[in-house]
Amino acid sequence: MFNSIFGLAVEKTANALAFKTDDSEWRVILWHCFLLFCSIYSLAAMLRVLALTARRLH
């Protein structure tokens, strides 16, 4: 459920920030950089939660 809400929010943000120029190549590059940043940030947050959970269990 979170992934679908997050995906919808990202899609709406991308539509709102869509450039009106023809240089769609830069838009694709920036979009992929943004998605990579979000993926790394989400992975780091999940690892942090797992580390805290493991620390509490021991």
Residue 32 C-beta-side C-alpha neighbours within 13 Å = 5
pLDDT of residue 13: 67
pLDDT of residue 32: 85
pTM: 0.50
Measured CA to CA, the distance from residue 46 to residue 41 in angstroms comes to 9
More confident residue, 58 or 19: 58
pLDDT of residue 50: 93
pLDDT of residue 51: 94
Asked if pLDDT for residue 9 goes beyond 70, the answer is: no
Measured CA to CA, the distance from residue 35 to residue 11 in angstroms comes to 11
For the segment 30-40, the average pLDDT, to the nearest whole number, is 87
CB distance 2 to 19 below 8 Å: no
